[in-house]
Amino acid sequence: MSTSLDLAVRGTTAHTGPGRADRLRSGSRAAALWVIAAAVILVTAIGGFFLSILGEETSELHPESVQPSGTKALMDILRERGVEVTVTESRQEARTAAAGADTTVLYIDLEANGETETRKEIGEAVRSGGNSLVLTDPGYDVEDFTPALRMASYFESDAQQELLQPGCQAPAAAAAGQVRGADGFYAAVPGHEDAVTTCYTLPGVPPGAGAYARAEADGADVTVLGSRTWMMNASLDEEGHAALMLHALGQHENLVVYLPQAGDQPSAGDEEPPNALTFIPPWFGVALLWLIPLTAALLWWRIRRFGPLAVERLPVVVPPVETVHGRAALMQRAGARTESLHALRTASLLRIAARLARPSQERPEQLCSAIAAHTGRDLAEVRYAYLEGVPANDRQLSDIAVLITAIESEVSPT
């Protein structure tokens, strides 16, 4: 059959309808309006959401934070029970309120912004007003508030998950019952045992030390809470946390929550440090949100792929020495001397316990005595290295670490 006859029978070979590219273009133009409308609605919703949370507090243990780590639920319960709750970040306001009548001062300083002078001022103001002071996991700074309490060393790594029993006759602990977890344990300073009540101890913690401690010495009523989670929104309804917090914070008509700020401390002077955020106009946040969809559209329009994606073999193997160096750099940058020394002490004691064929759950005091007897070193020197030494600067931390290494090198396997 000739070509002309074939065309006559079957028609032309060209397709007279719109091509695929034409159909895609026409469909895109028809849907463009709906895509733009959806994008505008989405961006408006995102902008409204961010504007609604722009002034929301998200700091850990902040009384106005509704995050799981906040304490707004506890403050609302106290207000419902008739307690006047005041939140302040001013040192002067906190000092004045601490000396007022029928007041409890809750001191929360998780970032260690408060200075020694500030802590002593708050303690003196509380004593002068005959009021109560509650400290949230103050660590070694507890000695600035009262001479009757000190932080106890311990070597349990999973204390945050343990169920703790009261083990004391304190009304607050008796009413609360068991609680979960602790970040620190506190004990009486020698000579003040009669003025201190400790509750919620744990195996491996020195005798007489507890996660909840109350001292009534030198005219001061100081309560130490060794766990942050007891008052958090996410865990307030667990175990006896709510009862314990209501007893500790609801004993007076007024509750002042003081959150120290670095710029309000004595060493900062009277002039506040400049803040670059104050120079940013209020509309900048909303304008920044518009850049998100615009950037996404620009990338979708202009992005090009040059060949297939590169394939990387997984998992990525990281040498252990790099993780050790990285963690050490992070601790040095944060100035976490106490945490670094705690890790060194714990690892050294565990290795020594294995060499001496002693149980890993043995109390640090007993293990220090065994080390002194084995090496012939003075017991006071061993206790300083593993229990009592508190580094005030990097040089002291290095000296204690060298001493720990020297002692460990003298312990031979039995």
Residues 1-49 pLDDT 10s = 333 333 333 333 334 444 555 555 555 665 666 777 777 777 777 766 6
| 391: Cβ contacts below 8 Å, ≥ 6 apart | 337, 338, 341, 397, 400
Host H or E run for residue 149: strand 149-152
Pairing of strands 103-107, 132-136: parallel
Assess contact for 164 and 205: CB atoms under 8 A.
no
Instruction: Please provide the DSSP assignment of 304-358 as one string.
Output: ---SSPP---SSPP--HHHHHHHHHHHHHHHT-HHHHHHHHHHHHHHHHHHHTT-
Residues 315-347 pLDDT 10s = 777 787 787 778 778 887 888 888 889 988 999
Predicted local distance difference test score (pLDDT) of residue 230: 93
b/e 110-132 (16+ beta carbons within 10 angstroms → b): eeebbbeebbebbbebbbebebb
Assess contact for 154 and 185: CB atoms under 8 A.
yes
Q: Which CATH class is domain 72-266?
A: alpha beta
Residue 105, classed as helix, strand or coil, is strand
Paired residues of 105 in beta bridges: 133, 256
How far, in Å, CA of 210 to CA of 199, rounded?
Answer: 5
Rg (CA), the chain: 32
Domain ranges of the chain: 72-266, 320-409
User: With a cut of 70, which residues of the chain have pLDDT below it?
Assistant: 1-33, 47-57, 155-158, 269-279, 302-310, 414
CA dihedral 123, 128, 134, 140 (to 10 degrees): 20
